[in-house]
Amino acid sequence: MNEWIFPVLFLVPVLSSIPIALAYRREDIVRKLPPVSVAGIFISLVCSLYILFHEEFMDKSFSYEWIPQLGIDMVLRIDYLSASMGVITALIAFIIAVYGLDYMKDDYRLPWYWFFFNLFTASMLLVVYSDNLFLLFVGWEGLGIASWGLIGHWYRDDDDITFVGVPERRLGPLKLWWPPSLGGWRAISTIRFGDVPMFLAIAAIWMLSEGHNLNISEIDWESLFLKAGTAGTIIIFTMFLLGLFTKSAQLPFSEWLMTAMTGPTTVSALLHSATMVAAGAFVFIKVSWYIKPWHLHDVPGLEFVYMFVLFVGLISALYGALVATGMLERKVLLAASTMSSLGLMFGTAAASYWIHPDGINLALLVAFWYMAVHAFAKATLFLVSGHLIHATHGRFSEGDSEFAMKMKPAFAATVIATTFLVGIPPLTAYWVKSAMDHVFEHLIEHGMLLPFLLLISASLCYSAILARFLSLNFFRGGRPHHEHVEGCPLMKLGYLMMVSVVFILLYVIFTHEETHEFVAAGLALSSMAVGIAVTIAYIGAVFKPRIETLSKIGTFFNDRMLLPALNDVISPAIGFSVAKAVNIGNRGIDAFCNTKVMPALFDMMSRAIRAIQTGYLKDYTKIVLGIVMFFLIMGALWGVMP
């Protein structure tokens, strides 16, 4: 067995970035070393492809001794999900890295960038292939620290093009602009809020599982949930989900995703395609793959958990799509649409509870395939956005048809990526979205009409916002104030390579057995009707990206329905209030123990003791006789009491 491939897969990207990190003082050397970092990611891509196409790895676990005192080993599992997701992650990271050779070539902080970029890629691959929850959490934390380094990469805050929001804009105490340094802090602080309960949930799973097992594919989940009881199941699963929701920016933890756009576009593309924000949805799909909740309807509390995820995901999907309708910043619009897509992934995966499969659960398969299509299409749009920002020297959408003709590769890639992602028949996402519609139609049979309505509403809004992105940047966004369309061959190559994969995915859907239900669902009349509605919404938004009479609503949506107030006003106010109360309590304890009460009491006692220390025997005799008389009197009184 070729077990050597796993150390190479995880370690080579990090090791290949060390030379540029060590050479940070030598500018002449630093400028020559980025291809070495890219080569490390390419090696990981080759390893992931080798794993995918060699049957000897499939449906097998590979274990390495790690913490024997706790019975925790490094366990990697190759199954349908991890084998495919590993290739998706490595391929997207490699293409973005190639793009970054052009995009970041004049950057002032290349050693920092490439080290964290490669660490990020390696961490995501560890999350993808890990079967052990504790090992997965190590990769999870690697994603967190690397995201902080990448989002806050332009730490100087000296260029308006790196900000999110309109500088100096306020609504009362709420600031509606964010610099890169704050974007990185917002990301890591929000993610940390979910990581702590997630770690505690993993510890609880270790305590409750048979033999203290943390391997996702080996845990007897039914026994664990029954041992935990109704309340325990809900608490443990919800704590675990907090980590997934914060990482994947589901409500109310979505704000960090918008302000993460302060980072370089390569970072935005990497975070929002198949890596960090997809990690939460992927882990939920993976855990559900082995929990098999459709067989555990007798486990109390589990239905509540999956119902909770279903509605959090769908409401987040609709929220993300709505707020994007009012946004003009290229990358922030795409970020909001990513939040919407992630919500659909969570909601669809949660629907697996009510789907009873013969083989692979259709809901989980659809959620994963939607993740794959979204990854390449959305990465394409982010890379195009970076090229547009470079060409126009602006982060707000602008561009007309003449500009589109000067940016033909970017224009073509945007048309393909948007149409193939929104669900227009007969393009790639249409077949996946049709299967998604089929899953939610099944929920109607269980008396749940609302999820289906939320899905259709989110899908129509989603189609409109991506069409709006196309229109405002290439048709109806006005003449750009600056044009620099020359050069950048690797940037063009990057998004053209990325968008070409959606054609490959379309071919796979029609040729692979596990996706034959996608094709059947796409041929249903109900799916065709939804596809036509999505197409109409797309065409309408292309020709009418702005509606002046709805400008106030658009501004409200652009302000993310004032949800930033939760992060920047309400939560800090609560935090400072708690800190103030704790400080008052600390001062009270300090006064009681150290400065006032106890010192005064001991001072009184010492004065009293010094007062009786006269040195005369008669005084000590009087004191002893007084004490004796006191106890005699108390004894006499005690004796006469009934």
pLDDT digits (tens, 9 = 90+) for 362-415: 999 999 999 999 999 999 999 999 999 999 999 999 999 999 999 999 999 999
DSSP 59: T
* Per-residue confidence (pLDDT) for residue 611, from 0 to 100: 75
pLDDT tens per residue, range 64-73: 888 888 778 8
- Residue 167: band (very low, low, confident or very high) from pLDDT cuts 50, 70, 90: confident
Sign (positive or negative) of CA dihedral 385, 390, 395, 400: negative
Q: Which residue is listed with tokens 């790690």? A: 66
Q: Where are the beta strands (DSSP E) in 602-642?
A: none
pLDDT tens per residue, range 178-210: 998 888 889 989 998 999 999 999 999 999 998
* Per-residue confidence (pLDDT) for residue 274, from 0 to 100: 75
Contacts of 211-214 with CB under 8 Å at 24 or more apart are 211/71, 212/70, 212/71, 213/71, 214/72, 214/132, 214/133, 214/134
| Residue 236 token pair | 């443990």
Contact of 531 with 423, CB cutoff 8 Å:
yes
Quick one: average pLDDT of 266-286? 90
CA 574 to chain centre: 24
* Per-residue confidence (pLDDT) for residue 133, from 0 to 100: 95
Collect all residues with Cβ–Cβ distance below 8 Å to 380 and sequence separation of at least 6. 413, 414, 416, 417, 495, 498, 499, 502
The Cα-based distances of 166 to 180, 223, 255, 512, 546 in angstroms read 14, 53, 16, 48, 19
Query: For residues 343 and 626, which has the higher predicted lDDT (pLDDT)?
Result: 343
Quick one: average pLDDT of 571-595? 87
pLDDT tens per residue, range 311-330: 999 999 999 999 999 899 99
* Per-residue confidence (pLDDT) for residue 429, from 0 to 100: 96
Task: Determine the Cα–Cα distance for residues 464 and 546; give it in Å rounded to an integer.
Answer: 11
* Per-residue confidence (pLDDT) for residue 639, from 0 to 100: 66
Contact of 522 with 434, CB cutoff 8 Å:
yes
pLDDT tens per residue, range 593-613: 888 888 888 888 888 777 777
Burial of 330 (0-12, 13-18, 19+ CB in 10 A): buried
- Residue 640: band (very low, low, confident or very high) from pLDDT cuts 50, 70, 90: low
pLDDT tens per residue, range 516-539: 999 999 999 999 999 999 999 999
DSSP 561: G
Percent of the chain with pLDDT over 90: 69
- Residue 276: band (very low, low, confident or very high) from pLDDT cuts 50, 70, 90: confident
| Residue 562 token pair | 């004032």
| Residue 559 token pair | 């302000």
Task: Determine the Cα–Cα distance for residues 120 and 37; give it in Å rounded to an integer.
Answer: 12
pLDDT tens per residue, range 243-273: 999 999 999 999 999 999 998 999 999 988 8
Sign (positive or negative) of CA dihedral 361, 76, 236, 204: positive
pTM of the model: 0.91
Whether residue 277 is predicted with pLDDT greater than 60 in this model: the reply is yes
* Per-residue confidence (pLDDT) for residue 198, from 0 to 100: 96
Q: What is the dihedral of CA 383, 387, 389, 391, to 10 degrees?
A: -170
Q: Nearest Cα to 381, choosing from 414, 419, 411, 408?
A: 414
